[in-house]
Structure 1
Amino acid sequence: MDEHRSLTSRAHHRIREMVLSGELAPGARIQIESLREKLDMGASPVREALSILSSEQLVVRNEQRGFWAPKISAADFAILLDTRCRVEGIALADAIAQGGAEWEERIVMLRHRLNTLDRITRADDWEAAHREFHAALISACPSGYLLNFCAQLYDLAVRYRNVARLVAYPERRIADEHSELVDAALARDTSRAVGLLNDHYRKTGEFLFKELSKQEDSAVK
């Protein structure tokens, strides 16, 4: 039983990476036999992992027809971005109201760590630190349900960014955006902190939305 759970966990982790990176193309049917061979394990843990991922909205499940990688669209991304800003704004407000000294120390430490990493030459390390930083900002929110939803929305947003495979990106002073956000949170200026968080997400989101729209227009022509 433990071995089976371990295999399911490993399959879940690997397939999740494949979806988030775009290795499993949006809208493509997921072939269980192909995955089983790729992951070198039986069909049962692969099916269980796919079922878990469907509950996380990273895989689409049709009871009669199997599993698919979710499609993407500019319209869907706009809804995702708006939802993320609303939900994470609530979580950040709650974290500011509830966070103590340990929360403050952690976000300052993670901001410093993030600022020491180059976003281009150490992209994987930076992405991991960026995820941890944003999770820490809202970590003092007392609602586990809300935090889990925020983590799910973060994953969906990362998938869109990876799948779009942006070849250009507007110049931004991201370290300054993070510093302003931390300073507002430490000052317990909730409205400013939430506003800065929304601006931070929307700057990336609006650029990505335009790129997705261009790709859709090109596909139609």
Structure 2
Amino acid sequence: MAIERQTYKEQAYREIRQMLVDGELAPGSKVVVRLLSERLALSPTPIKSALAGLERDRFLVAVPHRGYFVPEVAIEDMREIYELREALDGIAARNAAGAPDAEGFVRRVLRPLYEEQRRVLDEDGGQGYSAVDVAFHRAIWHASGNARLAQILDNLGGQLRFASGSSSKVPGRVPEALDEHEAIMAAVAAGDSALAERLSRRHVRRAAEAFGGVVKTDSPTPYRPTN
């Protein structure tokens, strides 16, 4: 029974997190346990446990005596996330390049994802690019051989998408990002750990700069529950 309860909690966490990332739960809105329970066909217990976990992971805000709300993410929050991503993505790329079969990993995993990114950009006008981009980076995170690192990066990546902080929405950024992906792949395939780390850090830094360039104000957006 304990294993079953944990499974339901994990299911609730994944599905509610995806709802947040996809924008189904609007910033400032209250998260209603009953509605989520009906939507996911789960009892309130795993829903409440999942909400507590999402609050710990900064996807929700807990307001005493009022419940959980979807936060409006401040610009400064985005800067912090990108800063962490730069350092951790660099470590992941360095480790991936130092793996025994780095060249094979690029050939079997990264190259097909890269080609899919190109296809989506050329044929679909960029529709669906973000999902393939996430898969590309997630593959490197997991190839790092550091499960904790991959988990942290997945959480940070989710926060970026949840906050609409993806630089892929910046005009002209995607072609540049793809060139950077190609350079990172070449470094990983060559087993050049130092270069892979340097290129990956620069890639995230340029993404942050692109995002920052379209932000109209440096003032944080405060959390404001709407009800």
TM-score, normalising length: structure 2: 0.77
Kindly state the Cα deviation for residue 60 of structure 1 after the two structures are TM-superposed. Answer: 2.8
CA contact (8 A) 2:72 2:221 kept: no
Q: Deviations over 1:86-136 (max 9, x none)?
A: 112112112212241542332223323332223754623x33322221122
Find the counterpart in structure 2 of residue 160 from structure 1. Answer: 163
Q: Which has the higher contact order (CA 8 A, sep 6+)?
A: 2
State the aligned residue count.
217
The root-mean-square deviation of aligned C-alpha atoms, in Å, is: 3.3
Kindly state the Cα deviation for residue 79 of structure 1 after the two structures are TM-superposed. Answer: 1.0
The change in CA–CA distance for 1:87 and 1:218 in structure 2 (over 3 A counts) is closer
Unpaired segments of 5 or more residues in structure 2? 223-227
**2:200 is aligned with 1:197:** yes
Q: Deviations over 1:128-186 (max 9, x none)?
A: 322221122233323211121111111112222269995x5235423322111111222
Unpaired segments of 5 or more residues in structure 1? none
Name the aligned partner's letter for residue 182 of structure 1: M
Kindly state the Cα deviation for residue 41 of structure 1 after the two structures are TM-superposed. Answer: 3.9
**2:81 is aligned with 1:80:** yes
Find the counterpart in structure 1 of residue 186 from structure 2. Answer: 183
Find the counterpart in structure 2 of residue 104 from structure 1. Answer: 106
Q: Deviations over 1:10-64 (max 9, x none)?
A: 4323311221123222343322233334445432232122123233332233565
Find the counterpart in structure 2 of residue 115 from structure 1. Answer: 118
Kindly state the Cα deviation for residue 80 of structure 1 after the two structures are TM-superposed. Answer: 0.8
Kindly state the Cα deviation for residue 85 of structure 1 after the two structures are TM-superposed. Answer: 0.4
Between the aligned partners of 2:136 and 2:168, the Cα distance in structure 1 is: 23
CA contact (8 A) 2:28 2:69 kept: yes
Q: Deviations over 1:174-221 (max 9, x none)?
A: 3322111111222233333223222322333223234444495999xx
